[in-house]
Structure 1
Amino acid sequence: MTIVIRPADPTDYAPLGEITARAYLNDGLLAFGDEDDWYLTELKDVAKRAAHAEVLVAVSGSELLGGVTYVPDGGPLSEIARPGEAEIRMLAVAHEARGRGVGRALVQACIDRASAAGTDLVLCTQPTMHTAHRIYEGLGFTRAPERDWHPVPESPDFTLLTYELTL
C-alpha cells in the first residue's frame, strides 16, 4: 500500500471528522467516554482546525486513512507548545487502516514540517495509547513528565502525557 500525506481539502473534512471522532470514541479516549462528550464536536470540526492550523490527511488512492492537525509555532490551536515549538494534535487512523504505517507517516510529516520551520515539536497523548507511544519514541520523541497536564477540570483523573522532539 502506498500512503500519500497531503493537506486536507474541504471534501476531506466531514469524513476525517468522523474517522477522528470514531477513533477517540472507540478507543476510550474521551474524558467522559460516550457520544455526549463535548470533545466529539471538536474532533468532528475539521474545517475549524483547518482555518487555524494545517490539517494533513493520509490517503491510499481514493481511500482516506487518517489525519492529523499540525499547529505551527504560536498557532492558536496549541495547548502545550511553548515559543519555538510546533504541536501535533488530533492524530487519528481509521480502524481498518491501523497497523499499516499510517500513524507513523502522519507523525513524520509533522516532524518534516517542524524541521523545515526550525521549531521543536510537542504532543500530548493518553497513558493507554501504547501503540502511539511506540511510534513517537521510535521517531525520537522523549517523555516530558513535567509537562503532563489535566485538560478537563471536572475529570481530574484524566491526564495527558507530554512528549517532546528537539530538532
Structure 2
Amino acid sequence: MDITIRPANPDEHEPLGEITAQAYLQDGLLDYGEGDEYLPVLKDVASRAAAADVLVAVDGERLLGGVTFVAGPGPVADIARPGEAEIRALAVAHEARGRGAGEALVRACVDRARATEGCAAVVLSTQRSMHTAHRIYERLGFVRTPERDWNPVPHLDDLTLLTYQLTL
C-alpha cells in the first residue's frame, strides 16, 4: 500500500465523516450506537475543517482515514493549552487497518506541530479501549498524562478519556 497524507478536500468531508463514525461504531466506542449524541459530531468533518486542519490518508484515490490537527487552543480543541497542538478524531477504515495509515496520520500531525511556531507539545485524548491507537502513540514517544484525564460526559463515569502528550 502506498499511503499519502494530505489535507482533506471538501468533497472528502462527508466520506471521511462516515469512516470516522463507522470506526467508532464498529469498535463499540459509542455508548448508544446510532443514537449516540457524539455521532453527528464525528460525522461533521466540515465544521472541524473550518476551524482546524483535517488530514486524510489515501492510497491512490482510495480514502483510508483521517485526523484533525488543531494548532492550539480554540473551538475544536478539547485539552490543548497555549503552546500545545492537539490531535482529534483519528480514524481509519476497518478494511485499511494494520497497514500504517493511522501511524502515518499521527506522524503527519507531529510534523505539523514541529513546524508550528511556539508549539512545544502535542496532546490528545483517547478512550481506554483504543489499545491499537495507544500502541501507535507510545511507539511515537507519547507518554500518558493521567493528571489531565477528563470526562466529556460527567454523568457517565466510565467515559473518562485518557490523555497523552509528546514533548517536542
**TM-score normalised according to structure 2 size:** 0.96
How many residues of Structure 1 are paired with residues of Structure 2 in the alignment? 166
SS of the residue corresponding to residue 35 of structure 1 reads helix
Quick one: distance in 1 between partners of 2:165 and 2:158? 22
Quick one: distance in 2 between partners of 1:15 and 1:75? 25
**Does the Cα contact within 8 Å between 1:149 and 1:159 map onto a contact in 2?**
yes
Extract structure 1 runs of 4+ deviating beyond 2 A. none
Residue 106 of structure 1 aligns with which residue? 105
Quick one: distance in 2 between partners of 1:107 and 1:61? 19
Q: Deviations over 1:97-145 (max 9, x none)?
A: 0000000000000000001114110000111111111000000000000
Structure 2 unpaired stretches of 5+: none
Quick one: distance in 1 between partners of 2:125 and 2:73? 16
Q: Deviations over 1:59-95 (max 9, x none)?
A: 0001000000001112321111111001000000000
**Does the Cα contact within 8 Å between 1:123 and 1:164 map onto a contact in 2?**
yes
* AA aligned opposite 1:155: L
RMSD of Structure 2 on Structure 1 (CA): 0.8
**TM-score normalised according to structure 1 size:** 0.97
Residue 61 of structure 1 aligns with which residue? 60
Quick one: distance in 2 between partners of 1:33 and 1:72? 31
* AA aligned opposite 1:149: W
SS of the residue corresponding to residue 67 of structure 1 reads strand
Structure 1 unpaired stretches of 5+: none
Q: Map 1:21-40 to 2 at 5 A.
A: 21-30=21-30, 32-40=31-39
